[in-house]
Amino acid sequence: MPEAEPPTIEALAEALAAGEEDRAAALIPELHPADLAALAGTLDEETWKPFFSALDQETLAEVFEYLAASDAEKALEQLPQTRQQEILEELSDDELVDLLQEVPSPKQEQYLALLSDSKEAVSRRLLRFSETSAGGRMTTAFATLHEDMTISEAIEALSEISESTEILSRIFVVDERHRLLGKVLLRDLTFNPRSTLIKEVMDDDTLAIDSLADQEEAANMIARYDMVALPVVDREARLLGVVTHDDAIEILAEESTEDIEKFSAIAGTHGEEGYLQTPVPMHFRRRFFWILPLALLAILSGVVIYNYEHVLNQVYLLVIYLPMVVAAGGNTGSQSATTVIRAMALGEFTPAAVVRVVWKELRIGLLLGGLLGLCVALVVQFFMPHFIEVPPEVSLRNVAMTVGLSLTGQVTSSTLLGAVLPILARSVHLDPALVASPAITTLVDVTGLVIYLGLAKALLGI
């Protein structure tokens, strides 16, 4: 018997690409549904269909739990109605609602009609929440008990749903109006005498989130309090659902990606689709949004240089260090903007700390600018003359001083601006990341040019 191939996602991808259906079918049962779902996200048109046909109904249902909503929709469309029905019915309600939110209205109604009455009702209720709210992210897979039950009654009530692991890690105690009173752990039921009342073993922790709150707030609470599941309540404190730790990881990853993208002048929200799945026009739109205004803004820098024509005409050598002064300001400005924005995003300080931040960045900026100015001035004075001839009428020492001092001034002011602008933005409830790197870079370019060319004029006596 030949040795079995080690079951890896790469091997499966190869088998699918080569059209070897038997080999693919042998590998699939050995792989985790999460890995299969991730693979689906990277497949192209030709291998997509054979892959999904090779999955049996049970595996397919498991894979659907991990698929991005857009991939799930694409996969669902290719299935016959009976298989669609089974998949939709088995899907956990939060994943189901994600998928339904993705599809156009008529299709949504068609899928809803396939569901059992109870599942349809839950889905319609969940669909009313915004996709990005805590309510839009929650699942209704949880169990409730009442205070006056005994453990034995509770276990009997729960045993009907004992098949669902998920639910049993989320047992809440509610009053007659379904308001959250606390939670019970399965271990409290397992390791206490059966006649004990629930109210004696329950934990009266009612930490919860409003269903209309932003999903990011829910994720931050889960992260902050190390929770496995965060209860979601309505305005009357009635328990509606839970947001779980795995959703928190997903939400935080999406938010981090969006932050990183904003720092790189990419606009809009990051969809659930991966890079390869996102169509070119969508990539284009998100990038072009910032590129045109930033380009027009950069003409300002050009106009400044244009207006200093007489300075550059007299000492054209100055042009050599011009891009550097400009770039150093942009780089240090975006460093401090990034640091400050990220610290605010992680809740490390609020705009009230602005004085402490300014004092800190002022010292950092002076250190950075001072040392950089000194290093570069030495390079200009002693190293560069080996490569670039200095006209005899130009004082090399004064050029070196101009470069060094303007670097110090430019870096210090950029560092301060980079820190202060995001705090200002935040204090007037704008997204600090909107004023981040590229916009700040373009702005400080102008200050850099004015400092450098103005200083040159003064020091070189032009």
Residue 106 C-beta: closest distance to a second copy, Å: 31
Residue 105 C-beta: closest distance to a second copy, Å: 30
Is residue 364 close enough to count as binding a second copy by CB under 8 A?
A: yes
Of 356 and 397, CB closest to a second copy: 356
Of 115 and 304, CB closest to a second copy: 304
Of 21 and 166, CB closest to a second copy: 166
The residues in 113-142 that bind a second copy, with binding defined as CB under 8 A, are none
Phi, psi of 431 (to 5 degrees): -70, 120
Choose which of 114, 149, 353, 462 interacts with a second copy (CB under 8 A): 353
Cβ distance 274 to 254 under 8 Å? no
Choose which of 19, 302, 385, 391 interacts with a second copy (CB under 8 A): 302
Residue found under tokens 């899928």: 111
Stretch near a second copy under the rule CB under 8 A, chosen from 82-90, 93-101, 117-125, 260-268: 260-268
Is residue 315 close enough to count as binding a second copy by CB under 8 A?
A: no
Is residue 152 close enough to count as binding a second copy by CB under 8 A?
A: no
Is residue 274 close enough to count as binding a second copy by CB under 8 A?
A: yes
DSSP-based helix, strand, coil % in the chain, nearest 5: 65, 5, 25
Residue 395 C-beta: closest distance to a second copy, Å: 18
Is residue 382 close enough to count as binding a second copy by CB under 8 A?
A: no
* 283 Cα distance to chain centroid: 17
Is residue 390 close enough to count as binding a second copy by CB under 8 A?
A: no
Total interface residues for a second copy by CB under 8 A: 114
Q: Nearest CA to 28 among 9, 1, 47, 49?
A: 9
Stretch near a second copy under the rule CB under 8 A, chosen from 82-90, 123-131, 172-180, 383-391: 383-391
Is residue 226 close enough to count as binding a second copy by CB under 8 A?
A: yes
Half-sphere exposure of 314 (CA within 13 A, CB side): 13
Cβ distance 409 to 378 under 8 Å? no
Is residue 451 close enough to count as binding a second copy by CB under 8 A?
A: no
Is residue 321 close enough to count as binding a second copy by CB under 8 A?
A: yes
Is residue 381 close enough to count as binding a second copy by CB under 8 A?
A: no
CB atoms within 10 A of CB 44: 9
Is residue 149 close enough to count as binding a second copy by CB under 8 A?
A: no
Of 110 and 306, CB closest to a second copy: 306
Is residue 328 close enough to count as binding a second copy by CB under 8 A?
A: yes
Is residue 162 close enough to count as binding a second copy by CB under 8 A?
A: yes
Is residue 283 close enough to count as binding a second copy by CB under 8 A?
A: yes
**What is the pattern of x (binds a second copy, CB under 8 A) and - over residues 70-109?**
----------------------------------------
Is residue 41 close enough to count as binding a second copy by CB under 8 A?
A: yes
Cβ distance 51 to 43 under 8 Å? yes
Is residue 437 close enough to count as binding a second copy by CB under 8 A?
A: yes
Give whole-number Cα distances, 86 to 34, 50, 67, 381, in Å.
Answer: 19, 20, 16, 77
Let me know if 63 is exposed, middle or buried by CB neighbors in 10 A (0-12, 13-18, 19+).
buried
Stretch near a second copy under the rule CB under 8 A, chosen from 81-89, 106-114, 129-137, 347-355: 347-355
Q: In what order do the strands lie in the sheet with 171-174?
A: 143-145, 171-174, 180-184
Q: Nearest CA to 408 among 370, 437, 440, 382?
A: 370
The residues in 191-210 that bind a second copy, with binding defined as CB under 8 A, are 191, 207
Q: How many Å apart are CA 260 and CA 256, to the nearest integer?
A: 6
Residue 92 C-beta: closest distance to a second copy, Å: 11
The residues in 227-246 that bind a second copy, with binding defined as CB under 8 A, are 228, 245-246
The residues in 392-431 that bind a second copy, with binding defined as CB under 8 A, are 407, 411
CA dihedral 120, 124, 129, 135 (to 10 degrees): -30
Residue 38 C-beta: closest distance to a second copy, Å: 7
Stretch near a second copy under the rule CB under 8 A, chosen from 72-80, 173-181, 208-216, 348-356: 348-356
Choose which of 11, 25, 42, 153 interacts with a second copy (CB under 8 A): 42
Stretch near a second copy under the rule CB under 8 A, chosen from 70-78, 96-104, 335-343, 423-431: 335-343
Residue 311 C-beta: closest distance to a second copy, Å: 12
Is residue 391 close enough to count as binding a second copy by CB under 8 A?
A: no
Q: In what order do the strands lie in the sheet with 239-244?
A: 209-210, 229-233, 239-244
CA dihedral 329, 332, 337, 340 (to 10 degrees): -150
Quote the tokens at residue 176.
Answer: 């007659």
Give all strands (DSSP E) within 221-366, no chain letters.
229-233, 239-244
Q: How many Å apart are CA 24 and CA 391, to the nearest integer?
A: 73
Residue type, 140: T
SS3 213: coil
Stretch near a second copy under the rule CB under 8 A, chosen from 106-114, 318-326, 391-399, 451-459: 318-326
Q: Nearest CA to 272 among 126, 131, 69?
A: 69
Cβ distance 365 to 411 under 8 Å? yes
Let me know if 18 is exposed, middle or buried by CB neighbors in 10 A (0-12, 13-18, 19+).
exposed
